[in-house]
Amino acid sequence: MINIYPEASRFRTDLDWLTSRASFSFGEHYDPDNTAFGPLRVFNDDIIGAGRGFGGHPHREMEIVSVVLRGQLKHEDSTGRKAVTGFGGVQRMSAGTGIIHSEANPADEECHILQIWMTPSESGLEPSYETSSFDPEALKNRLLPIVARGGGEGIADIHQDLTMYLSRLDAGKLVEFRQDAGRRVYLFVIEGELSVNGSALQRGDAARITEEPELNLEAAGEEAFFMLIDLP
């Protein structure tokens, strides 16, 4: 089953320093029928203005991944960790028993990120943080893992049985993904147009997919840049 959620259906926040599109209930936006997809709790597409950001705030029992698509993102937290990440960089924070952190755009240009929250597979973890990086050229016409349980070279670790992939397909190119029984897939189009088993998705659209053993993902326009998350 492929359920498509068009960009227009997402929760919108438009401030003088932040443009955000939320796929699930978040902050002041609440829909009791749209709070999660498996362990996936937050999937926000954020553009942060130059020199602005989210001040210090607490988190508990959540895995938080920030994928930088454009510009720079600065992280600081109550454990003393600091980092600045650009395109090709991923920040993963395990809030565990409790942490305070901030995220800001330190540059004089906009910062575009995907911010993704997952419930962990176990509670009571010690708070932790890491950055990882991937080669943007390696996204070309393949599904490149960037976050996964156990981590790896260029892959951030996460305390959940999932894998996040990025891909950038040339016009007419196709990649296949096999969905194991009992699992689900979340798909999000960052740029361009994508066809999944014949269903069309535009920029900003998402799909929540279950009981589809094989997925055929094809760039329907000049190019398609997208994220695929394999979830329990």
Cβ pair 2, 212 in contact under 8 A: yes
| Three-state SS at 139 | helix
Q: How far apart are CA 28 and CA 170, in angstroms?
A: 38
Q: Identify the bridge partners of residue 18 per DSSP, sorted by sequence position.
A: 48
Q: How far apart are CA 171 and CA 219, in angstroms?
A: 5
Nearest alpha carbon to residue 177 among 34, 37, 69, 169: 169
Q: Residue 57, annotated ligand binder?
A: yes
Q: Residue 29, annotated ligand binder?
A: no
Q: How far apart are CA 72 and CA 112, in angstroms?
A: 8
Q: How far apart are CA 171 and CA 206, in angstroms?
A: 20
Cβ pair 201, 207 in contact under 8 A: yes
Q: Residue 112, annotated ligand binder?
A: no
Pairing of strands 73-77, 40-48: unpaired
Q: Residue 75, annotated ligand binder?
A: no
Please return the burial class of 182, using the count of CB atoms within 10 Å of its CB with bins 0-12, 13-18 and 19+. exposed
Q: Residues marked as binding for Fe cation?
A: 57, 59, 101, 103
Q: Residues marked as binding?
A: 57, 59, 101, 103
